[in-house]
Structure 1
Amino acid sequence: MLARTLEIARTLIGFPSVSDRSNLDLIEWVSGYLHGVGVQAQILPDVTGRKANLFASLGPPRPGGIILSGHTDVVPVAGQAWAQDPFSAHLDHGRLYGRGSSDMKGFIAVVLAMAPELMASARQSFHLALSYDEEVGAMGAKHLAPFISQAQLEPAGCIVGEPTSMELVIGHKGRHEINCCVHGKVAHSSLPSEGVNAIDYAARVQMQLQQVAKRLAKGPLDGGFDVPYTTVQVCRVNGGVAGNVIPGQCSFDFEIRYLPGCDAEQLLVQIKDDANQAMHGEMNDRSAGASIEFSHTLHTPGLDERGNQAFAQWIRQASSMAHGRQRVAYSTEAGLFQAEGIPTIVCGPGSIKQAHKANEYVDLAQLEACERFLRRLARCESLPPLPARGEQ
């Protein structure tokens, strides 16, 4: 089976499905492959027609089926020092290298290679759900998860195959991404009193965010997470036009990765209020048009382990998993499926430490472990528990 998985993985990695490009070639290839093994896939395009989700039932749908979820997009390779072409997969010392090998085309390859075996399961029912643009806000899954819910398939649960080293993840943080744009006043740099330096004020807002981050690091704490507190950090800054011009605008993006139970919306309100109270009046005294604006660019909900326990316990028993359940700081599409009332866990081959980096790879042993994992689920005599009404 591994040889088939590797063949498919090589093909998938060969599609340069970076989030700013179309994924249609990849989706159409998967649809054609599934048709060849007797599966009719549904291609679900976005409003532009350049991107698409895919949904397919592997065999006759039965109540209580399991969704196998993966995203088809990958992060860019620009500026990374790859030893070889990142979109031409290669094997070396028991590892498969290439962009997306770990995050998360390796998992998709395993599912596709095993599709005939999963279809032959006498007890379990499986569905394949592939999305677009997970890396830029889980845009595809925001349409795919409701589509599955409205299809009335009554799934027992969903497995999101993000790289977890084949450990069972039952909870993860949510993530907000926010843009802050500081509007100042342009002036010649020799006349600082004539301008309002947008970079200076943006830096002051960032200093406030550092203080918020330090406060949050003290608690509330949840020791079940690898990073046990809510985090705030600036990720990108843009401002200034020349070395002798007082900048009239500076913008930056920051994120909030929040623990379950954290009121991230209220935290954002407080951040906005603190910035405006500290600086808005001072800026307006120098220029009536000066301002600080915040805009919410994306939100990926967290995965709350409450409501997932029964499905997670069945996964452990059916697959004979020896690893304990864990919670992680990164975010996935799992919270979107959970929001539709579908118990969801995260489990897939590869390590998150390899994701998004040059020379990304997945160990072949991880792909084999994923094959064994799915095979055990398919052969399990017991059915996964159906979620109780209102459990989520």
Structure 2
Amino acid sequence: MTEAHDLSARDILARLVAFPTVCRTENAELIDWVEMFLLSLGARCRRVPGEQAGRFNLFASIGPDSPDGIVLSAHSDVVPVEGQPWTTDPFVLTPRDGKLYGRGSSDMKGFLACMLMAARYAAGQTNLRAPLHLAISHDEEIGCVGVHTLLRDLAANGFRAKGCVIGEPTGLRVVSGHKGKLAAQITCHGLAAHSANPSRGCNAILLAADMVKVIESLQEELKNTGAQDESYEVPFSTMQIGLIRGGVALNIVPDLCEVQFEMRLLPGVVAGPWLDRLRQEADHLGAERPHARIEIETLNTYPGLHTPDDAPFLHAIMQLTGDNTPLRIGFGTEGGLFSEYLDMPVVVCGPGSIDRAHKADEFILPEELEAGVQFVERIVDTLV
């Protein structure tokens, strides 16, 4: 692929945006293209299949095989565009009014384009003393589920590195921490009956309403007596309900209602005791009412990230950006998983803004993309 040596960052981003790698769909074509790009630079590539057909992670290395390299990481998937009022084709990178529009331009194919530019820059160095690694995952947008197979593979093979940079859009500010997440479902079972005589049934929606009140009470407890960290915009762990489904007709006492909720947990806070409290209340409510049964199931979880303020890798990356103090962010990343699986320091730092992510007319500024390229090239310079 001779074009690997000729494409600009904008050209690469245009190629990446054109692959409609919406989460929960296949990403094989994008991985094929990226792998060919990297192989043409002489990179050592390893493709790690996901748990669903047609979905892959990719890991690539340039430079010596030593344990003191740096990992640059990005996810290949994007969120859906259906129902959003886009004014451009979301899968065509469109320059307009000084902006580059396209799904994933900020979150986070912009950084993936920077990574490929870093690979080309590293391949042009004749005296790399440590390797540059690139990690590309799938299905991050549905709870960081796709990267597990890659990290398990790396851990099983004894992979080591100095640290990892997750290139989520932070305006190129260095982030050293974020909350973890747990998503769960409460399923309330009752007994159907005709609404003309509701006492003959057990209303599952009313059971769900009682569980909503329990979550509200636990949230107040988390806020008032739980762990606090003032470096976060919301300085405590949270519980919130995002989805309720129940009932089939107005004249039927509903026998099923589902409530989905999430917890955003400060690093070091574990969900177990809070889920135990929730289950105790569920058992109590179920015992109070004939025909009632309440189940609680964890749907997805990923850990928070906490890189210590005195970590040398954190300060090395801050020196490249000019930051004096690391940030904490509210949204989650794969960073905690990289830290847990591979026991390495992790920071989050990438071009663009998370405020544009997941919305219609997502964009990145050309100067942000260029600054991202300069940032990753400075990282490569530390490997010489």
TMscore range, shorter length: over 0.9
CA-to-aligned-CA distance 1:176-214 (integer Å, 9 cap, x gap): 111110011111222211111111211221122122222
Mapping 1:140-289, distance limit 5 Å: 140-218=146-224, 219-277=226-284, 279-284=285-290, 287=291
- The answer to whether structure 1 residue 119 and structure 2 residue 119 are counterparts is no
SS class of match (1:293): strand
Distance (whole Å) between structure 1 residues aligned to residue 6 and residue 357 of structure 2: 21
Q: Does the Cα contact within 8 Å between 1:133 and 1:139 map onto a contact in 2?
A: yes
Residue 305 of structure 2 corresponds to which residue in structure 1? 303
CA-to-aligned-CA distance 1:242-267 (integer Å, 9 cap, x gap): 22222110112100001123232111
Residue 367 of structure 1 corresponds to which residue in structure 2? 369
Structure 1, 186-195 or 165-174: larger mean CA deviation = 186-195
Distance (whole Å) between structure 1 residues aligned to residue 379 and residue 130 of structure 2: 8
Matched to 1:299, the amino acid is T
Structure 1, 1-10 or 136-145: larger mean CA deviation = 1-10
Matched to 1:66, the amino acid is I
1:55 aligned to which of 53, 59, 65: 59
Residue 313 of structure 1 corresponds to which residue in structure 2? 315
Residue 351 of structure 1 corresponds to which residue in structure 2? 353
1:38 aligned to which of 3, 19, 42: 42
Matched to 2:61, the amino acid is S
CA-to-aligned-CA distance 1:156-188 (integer Å, 9 cap, x gap): 001111111111010111101111100111112
Structure 1, 322-331 or 333-342: larger mean CA deviation = 322-331
Q: Does the Cα contact within 8 Å between 1:308 and 1:344 map onto a contact in 2?
A: no
Q: Does the Cα contact within 8 Å between 2:185 and 2:297 map onto a contact in 1?
A: yes
1:25 aligned to which of 23, 26, 29: 29
Q: Does the Cα contact within 8 Å between 2:48 and 2:149 map onto a contact in 1?
A: no
Deviation at 1:345, TM superposition (A): 0.8
The change in CA–CA distance for 1:2 and 1:105 in structure 2 (over 3 A counts) is farther
CA RMSD of aligned residues (A): 2.0
Structure 1, 27-36 or 64-73: larger mean CA deviation = 27-36
Distance (whole Å) between structure 1 residues aligned to residue 259 and residue 94 of structure 2: 38
Deviation at 1:93, TM superposition (A): 2.3
The gaps in structure 2 that reach 5 residues or longer are none
Distance (whole Å) between structure 2 residues aligned to residue 75 and residue 168 of structure 1: 24
How does the TM-score come out when normalised to structure 1? 0.91
The change in CA–CA distance for 1:133 and 1:29 in structure 2 (over 3 A counts) is same
Residue 328 of structure 1 corresponds to which residue in structure 2? 329
Q: Does the Cα contact within 8 Å between 2:267 and 2:303 map onto a contact in 1?
A: no
Percent identical pairs in the alignment equals 39
Residue 386 of structure 1 corresponds to which residue in structure 2? none
Q: Does the Cα contact within 8 Å between 1:2 and 1:367 map onto a contact in 2?
A: no
SS class of match (1:196): coil
The change in CA–CA distance for 1:251 and 1:2 in structure 2 (over 3 A counts) is farther
Distance (whole Å) between structure 1 residues aligned to residue 321 and residue 180 of structure 2: 29
CA-to-aligned-CA distance 1:308-350 (integer Å, 9 cap, x gap): 7121011122x14235201112111111110121111111111
Q: Does the Cα contact within 8 Å between 1:227 and 1:328 map onto a contact in 2?
A: no
CA-to-aligned-CA distance 1:134-165 (integer Å, 9 cap, x gap): 11221221121232233334200011111111
Matched to 1:5, the amino acid is A
Q: How many residues align?
A: 376
Distance (whole Å) between structure 1 residues aligned to residue 309 and residue 370 of structure 2: 30
